[in-house]
């Protein structure tokens, strides 16, 4: 119990140091993809029922429900802090069999919570993917339990997989890979059957919306090369990846990561962790798990490195060929994110390494304690930019204009199913003065009720990744229809009633669709194109050449969500019923008792 | 032995703190012009 309190204290401290600016006052963190709004209206899209590609399904649904109970800023704070603290606690529990002292667990916890991967995902605003990463130690713990006892181990595995899949599709996939590599008894068909069944059911929440999406076309053309991991410094891409860095988005890099010295010192830390794993392999009580962890790290590294310059472009070309035949391969773009499972191996290895260092302390060699201390603080010293949100992430609050516009668009007396187009029609990221000019995903789709259309074409290094929603392409055409009246008419034909003009768009009448001014505030202008013209196409039908079929699939998608919910519920009840508060405790189930392959 | 260990730890810590700390203190996030804002993207 005392050790758990200590682990909680370390995790809580790290969470506070990283998230501090968000926690010390009211307001939101709004940057990159991190968008929370005061109250997120419910939409079918949050569950993937509208036929669009599920990007944040069902996380958006959860956030929407929660923001109806408490303000969105509380939801944001709670999600991030809980994920960080539980992630650190999970890492500490995972390494317990390898850690001979509290400092070893602390070193592993700090490394897991404080590394370039975490920094880069946080600054990308990918909080749900970050939450999935922080769930991985619990997946690994469940895998350990499952390998020991298939019958008793399915429940924690089910819960861990379901939570991961809820976070994001890529998190769900990573969790399944971790469970397979660490939890399957290779020669036991029952073990395979259980893991595969759990993996499939847990991921139905996004799998079914993906398979039944009739409104979108996945683009894989050139995306693997565009989003490939990159070298952060002169040390090269491999050094970046070995130290858990290498994001494609160079604009969010921590300044110190551009130094080859820092990256190479980070590699030294990784090398120490690998040495620790080697020692655990030779002297540990469960060499099988260590081998599996090494294999997991290897797989993660290969996937992350595949589309990079390390393969001379062959990896990206291979992925594109696969993507042409299997659109789901698009999930592998931004491959660096799949480096996450490697952090599990590094955390375990560092704990083992610190334990070895502790064993070297003897009269006349007390200075080894300094090495122990160095291992604990090294991740922080090597990445000071993660402290206090990078020093640049101040909180923001939405101006009143946003609430006023949301009220108008959501007026229940108005016509239903009217869509909103957001201008400027140039990408989906904005710089608002109220947000200190930080780039953030347009909050309109989450703040406004009804369908909100934003230009989601992606431009990276001057190359355009086209929108995956044909409706966006249709709006692009409508906006180029000619005169304001013609544009207005073309938009109405697409089922658009409202045009939200945000800062950055040309407010001259000649540059806007013809329509009445519904709201004219300091920062936002809302145009009412009046009700869609008689005979205008149903918004859903514009998406596809033929009649939309997503209504037919909605039932199937709901069944999928229901399956995941039931799985989660059954897993939790099983855990509570059997009193498995120690599902991950190595005290009751020591590692040496774990079954082998 | 203590002397050697302390020296190695000190040098490693000082190097990381000097290089990383100074870089972090000096370097702001790279700004992207408004014209290129559409290039911001992710998954």
Question: Contact at 8 Å (CB) between A237 and A231?
Answer: yes
- Give the 3-state secondary structure of residue B40: coil
Identify which of A232, A275, A242, A283 has the alpha carbon closest to the alpha carbon of residue A375.
Answer: A275
The tens digit of pLDDT for each residue in A535-585 reads 444 443 333 344 445 567 889 999 999 999 999 999 999 999 887 555 455
**Residue A360, domain member (yes or no):** yes
As averages over each run of 10 residues, the pLDDT of chain B (43 residues) reads: 89 88 69 49 39
Q: pLDDT tens for residues A206-259?
A: 999 988 876 556 666 777 888 899 999 999 999 999 999 999 888 888 999 999
Q: Kindly state whether residues A215 and A313 are assigned to the same domain.
A: yes
Q: Do A367 and B20 touch (CB under 8 A)?
A: no
pLDDT attached to residue A336: 93
A553 inside domain: no
Chain B: residue whose CA lies nearest to A368: B5
- Number of domains comprising chain A: 2
Q: Which of B4, B26, B40 sits opposite A255 (nearest CB)?
A: B26
Condensed to tens digits (0 to 9), the pLDDT of residues A105-136 reads 999 999 999 999 999 999 999 999 999 999 99
Do residue A358 and residue A441 come from a single domain? no
Encode pLDDT of A145-192 as tens digits.
999 999 989 999 999 999 999 999 999 999 999 999 999 999 999 999
Q: Considering the domain boundaries, does residue A81 fall inside one?
A: yes
**Spatial contact of A93 and A585, defined as CB atoms under 8 Å apart:** yes
By mean pLDDT, which of A92-96, A137-141, A298-302, A460-464 is the weakest? A460-464
Taking CA atoms, what residue in B is nearest to A55? B43
- The verdict on residue A500 lying in a domain is yes
β-pairing, A516-520 vs A452-453, is: unpaired
Q: Does A264 touch chain B (CB under 8 A)?
A: no
| A510, A564: one domain | no
In a domain, A220, yes or no: yes
Q: Nearest Cα to A107, choosing from A243, A6, A182?
A: A6
Say whether both A409 and A352 belong to one domain: no
The verdict on a CB contact (< 8 Å) between A426 and B27 is: no
Query: Which residue of A lies nearest to B8 if distances are taken between CA atoms?
Result: A371
Q: How much is the pLDDT for A518?
A: 92
Contact yes or no for A594/A148 (Cβ under 8 A): yes
How far does chain B reach from its first CA to its final CA, in angstroms?
A: 51
Secondary structure of A33-66 in HEC code, one letter for each residue: CECCCCCCCCCHHHHCCCCCCCCCCCHHHHHHHH
Q: Do A381 and B20 touch (CB under 8 A)?
A: yes
Residue A7 in this model has a pLDDT that exceeds 80 = yes
In 3D, which of A457, A589, A293 has the Cα closest to residue B39? A457
Q: Do A370 and B43 touch (CB under 8 A)?
A: no
Q: Which residues of A490-499 are buried (b: 16+ CB within 10 A; e: fewer)?
A: bbbbbbbbbb
Helix axis angle for A102-113 and A72-95, nearest 10°, is: 140
Q: Are residues A156 and A288 in the same domain?
A: yes
Pick from A391, A142, A382: nearest CA to A263: A382
What is the extent of the structural domain holding A483? 401-548
Q: Which of A511, A528, A548 is the last residue of a domain?
A: A548
Of A500, A135, A490, the C-alpha closest to A344 is A135
Please give the C-alpha separations between residue A235 and each of A209, A242, A260, in angstroms, as whole numbers.
42, 11, 5
A451 backbone φψ class: left, alpha, beta (φ>0; ψ -120 to 50): beta
Chain B residues near any Cβ of chain A (below 8 Å): 1-6, 9, 12-13, 15-17, 19-21, 23-24, 26-32, 34, 37-43
- Ramachandran angles phi, psi of A246, nearest 5°: 105, 30
| pLDDT score recorded for residue A96 | 95
Q: Are residues A309 and A413 in the same domain?
A: no
* ipTM reported for the complex surpasses 0.85: no
Whether residues A255 and B9 touch (CB distance < 8 A) is answered with no
Chain-centroid distance, C-alpha A1? 31
> Pick the residue with more confidence: B43 or A87?
A87
Residue A315 lies in a domain: yes
**CA pair distance A535, A91, nearest whole angstrom:** 59
Which residues share a beta bridge with A528? A498, A516
CB nearest to A364's CB, from B1, B37, B43: B1
Contacts of B17 in chain A (CB under 8 A): 381
Same domain, residue pair A347 and A244: yes
Looking at residue A535, its pLDDT comes to 47
Domain co-membership, A534 together with A567? no
pLDDT tens-digit profile of A314-339? 888 899 888 888 878 888 888 999 99
Residues A224 and A347 in one domain: yes
Please state the separation of Cα A3 from the chain's center in Å: 30
What gap in Å lies between CA B17 and CA B25, rounded to an integer? 11
Q: Is residue A136 part of a domain?
A: yes
Residues 6+ apart with CB under 8 A from A208: A48, A553, A556, A557, A559, A560
What confidence category does residue A414 fall into, taking pLDDT thresholds of 50, 70 and 90? low
- Do A405 and A334 share a structural domain? no
Are A151 and A191 within one domain? Answer: yes
Indicate the residue of A261, A368, A385 with minimum beta-carbon distance to B24. A385
Handedness of CA A130, A123, A397, A453 (dihedral sign): negative
Do A427 and B43 lie within an 8 Å CB cutoff? no
Question: Sorting pLDDT into bands at 50, 70 and 90, what band is A592?
Answer: very low
Do A158 and A288 belong together in one domain? yes
Quick check: is A530 in a domain? yes
List of E strands, A209-289: none
């Amino acid at each position: 119990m005392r050790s758990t309190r200590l682990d909680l204290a370390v995790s809580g401290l790290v969470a506070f140091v990283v998230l501090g600016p968000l926690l010390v006052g009211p307001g939101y963190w709004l940057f990159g993809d991190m968008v929370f709004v005061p109250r997120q209206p419910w939409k079918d899209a949050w569950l993937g029922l509208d036929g669009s590609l599920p990007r944040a399904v069902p996380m958006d649904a959860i956030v929407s429900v929660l923001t109806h109970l408490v303000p969105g800023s509380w939801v944001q704070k709670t999600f991030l802090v809980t994920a960080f603290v539980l992630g650190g606690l999970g890492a500490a529990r995972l390494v317990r069999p390898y850690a001979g002292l509290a400092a070893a667990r602390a070193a592993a916890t700090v490394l897991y919570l404080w590394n370039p991967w975490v920094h880069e995902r946080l600054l990308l605003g990918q909080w749900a993917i970050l939450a999935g990463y922080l769930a991985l130690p619990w997946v690994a713990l469940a895998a350990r339990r499952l390998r020991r006892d298939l019958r008793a181990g399915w429940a924690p595995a089910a819960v861990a997989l379901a939570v991961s899949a809820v976070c994001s599709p890529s998190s769900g996939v990573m969790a399944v890979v971790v469970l397979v590599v660490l939890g399957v008894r290779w020669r036991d068909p029952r073990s395979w059957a259980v893991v595969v069944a759990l993996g499939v059911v847990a991921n139905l929440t996004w799998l079914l919306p993906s398979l039944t999406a009739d409104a979108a076309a996945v683009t894989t053309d050139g995306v693997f090369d565009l989003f490939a991991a990159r070298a952060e410094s002169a040390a090269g891409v491999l050094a970046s990846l070995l130290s858990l860095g290498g994001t494609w988005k160079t604009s969010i890099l921590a300044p110190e990561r551009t130094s080859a010295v820092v990256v190479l010192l980070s590699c030294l830390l990784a090398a120490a962790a690998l040495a620790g794993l080697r020692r655990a392999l030779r002297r540990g009580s469960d060499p099988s798990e260590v081998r599996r962890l090494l294999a997991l790290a290897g797989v993660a590294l290969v996937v992350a490195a595949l589309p990079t310059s390390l393969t001379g472009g062959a990896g990206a070309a291979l992925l594109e060929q696969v993507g042409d035949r299997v659109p789901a391969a698009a999930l592998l773009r931004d491959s660096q994110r799949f480096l996450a499972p490697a952090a599990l191996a590094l955390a375990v290895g560092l704990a083992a390494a610190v334990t070895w260092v502790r064993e070297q302390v003897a009269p006349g060699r007390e200075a080894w304690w300094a090495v122990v201390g160095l291992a604990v603080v090294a991740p922080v010293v090597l990445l000071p930019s993660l402290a206090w949100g990078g020093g640049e992430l101040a909180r923001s609050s939405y101006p009143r204009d946003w609430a006023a516009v949301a009220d108008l668009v959501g007026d229940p007396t108005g016509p239903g199913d009217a869509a909103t187009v957001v201008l400027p029609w140039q990408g989906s990221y904005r710089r608002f003065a109220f947000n200190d000019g930080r780039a953030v995903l347009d909050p309109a789709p989450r703040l406004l009720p009804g369908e909100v259309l934003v230009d989601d074409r992606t431009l990276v290094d001057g190359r355009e990744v086209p929108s995956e929603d044909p409706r966006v392409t249709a709006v692009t055409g409508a906006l180029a229809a000619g005169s304001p009246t013609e544009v207005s008419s073309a938009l109405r034909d697409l089922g658009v009633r409202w045009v939200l003009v945000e800062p950055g768009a040309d407010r001259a009448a000649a540059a806007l669709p013809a329509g009445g001014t519904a709201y004219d505030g300091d920062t936002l202008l809302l145009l009412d194109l009046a009700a869609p013209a008689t005979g205008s196409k149903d918004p859903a039908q514009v998406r596809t050449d033929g009649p939309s079929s997503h209504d037919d699939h909605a039932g199937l998608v709901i069944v999928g969500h229901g399956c995941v919910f039931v799985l989660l519920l059954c897993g939790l009840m099983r855990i509570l019923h059997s009193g498995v508060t120690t599902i991950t405790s190595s005290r009751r189930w020591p590692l040496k008792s774990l079954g082998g392959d | 032995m203590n002397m050697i260990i302390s020296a190695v730890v000190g040098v490693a810590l000082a190097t990381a703190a000097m290089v990383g700390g100074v870089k972090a203190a000096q370097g702001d996030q790279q700004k992207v012009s408004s014209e290129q804002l559409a290039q911001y993207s992710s998954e």
